Copies of this chain bind each other. A is one copy, B any other.
Amino acid sequence: MSTFDLSGYLSRNRNLVDAALLNVFHELDQHRELVRAMTHSLMAGGKRVRPALALATAGALGADPRIALPASCAIEMIHTYSLIHDDLPAMDDDDLRRGMPTCHKQFSEATAILAGDGLLTHAFHILAAPGSCFDIYPDTDTRLILVEKISAAAGINGMVEGQMLDMQAENNPEDLPLDRPGALAHLKKIHRHKTGAMIEVSVASGAISAGADKDALNALGTYAENIGLAFQVMDDILNVEGDPKVMGKAAGSDALRDKLTFPAILGLEESKVFSKQLVADALTALDSYSEKEFKKNSEPLRAIAGYIINRNR
């Protein structure tokens, strides 16, 4: 049993990331409507899961975790833009996020579209020109690789396509495969694009920022792939049996909408077994990288993997 204080670790990381994000925006005129709309959503109390993975990965490889802050901030800005655009009336039409008005509710639809566009564009800007916002950052070659990997994960073969697939599955359920293996494969495809790609690139960015070798990239890639999927399976499980008071939203909403989910395809018990197996595979992948200090330094990554299936929201 690990005695690692994950909650303290995550809280310290969150402070680090929040401070860095504030620093990115601090030179801008805070009265500008566009800046207010971007910060409204960016500083709305997100858990900063993706930055935590990037920082923990850099630390696991023996680097100063702060080397992963530019990529962490870029990824969190991209994650936030995707939430702003997803919440729009034409997409999920959500009025609230984390108990706060969504960007288009607080400002306007046009402003929310532009705030999302601005966050996405500025994410690549800070990777290219981190100098005025960050004390330490990777060299130019490494930063160009980060632009390449993060734009791939966020773009038309990653997150944006995942949104598209998810939307098509909701709008045209008659086009979905009816057999269990087909439905499961399609659901995995949606999640691998929609959320998996950005989780994977969070880990990869931490590794790349820290100058990881090929063996480390492979082991960490398998870790990330497995926890990314486990995270989504657990989200589906919590939607079935989570405590509405803890979750901040009603349980059972997926089933009411006849949504394609892991419990709908596999049943609840088999979904739980599946999520545990994914986390076990993630930990095995970490074991496969035999660098001497890695076992000790990767404790946060192991704790995050465990947290995914033990959380209650």
Chain B residues in 8 Å Cβ range of A127 = 147
Residue contact B124 to A34, C-beta cutoff 8 Å: no
Most B CB within 10 A of own CB, among A89, A147, A161 = A147
Q: A121 touches which one: B89, B125, B144, B151 (CB < 8 A)?
A: B151
Q: How far does the alpha carbon of A151 sit from the alpha carbon of B128 in the complex, in Å?
A: 9
A273 at the interface (CB under 8 A from B): no
Knowing A90-B109, A109-B90 touch, does A121 contact B154 (C-beta < 8 A)? yes
Within the complex, the shortest CB–CB distance from A265 to chain B, in Å, comes to 24
A101 at the interface (CB under 8 A from B): no
Most B CB within 10 A of own CB, among A38, A89, A144 = A144
Residue contact A113 to B141, C-beta cutoff 8 Å: no
Residue contact A152 to B125, C-beta cutoff 8 Å: yes
- For A90, give the chain B residue with the smallest CB separation: B109
Knowing A122-B155, A156-B28 touch, does A161 contact B91 (C-beta < 8 A)? no
Residue contact A33 to B164, C-beta cutoff 8 Å: yes
Chain B residues in 8 Å Cβ range of A156 = 28, 34-35, 38, 118, 121-122
Tell me if A's interface is mostly helix, strand, loop or mixed: helix
Chain B residues in 8 Å Cβ range of A155 = 118, 121-122, 125
Q: What is the 8 Å Cβ interface bit string for chain A, positions 135-158, against chain B (1 contact, 0 not)?
A: 000001101110110011011110
Q: What is the 8 Å Cβ interface bit string for chain A, positions 76-117, against chain B (1 contact, 0 not)?
A: 000001000100111100000000000000001111011011
Q: How far does the alpha carbon of A38 sit from the alpha carbon of B164 in the complex, in Å?
A: 13
A257 at the interface (CB under 8 A from B): no
Residue contact B121 to A147, C-beta cutoff 8 Å: no
Residue contact A160 to B128, C-beta cutoff 8 Å: no
Chain B residues in 8 Å Cβ range of A232 = none
Residue contact B118 to A90, C-beta cutoff 8 Å: no
A15 at the interface (CB under 8 A from B): no
Residues on A close to B: CB < 8 A?
Answer: 28, 32-35, 38, 81, 85, 88-91, 108-111, 113-114, 116-118, 120-122, 124-125, 127-129, 140-141, 143-145, 147-148, 151-152, 154-157, 160-161, 163-164, 167-168
Q: What are 24 A-B pairs at a CB distance below 8 A?
A: A32-B164, A33-B168, A34-B156, A34-B161, A38-B156, A81-B117, A110-B167, A114-B163, A117-B117, A117-B120, A117-B160, A118-B160, A120-B121, A121-B151, A121-B156, A121-B160, A124-B147, A125-B147, A125-B151, A128-B144, A128-B151, A140-B140, A140-B141, A144-B147
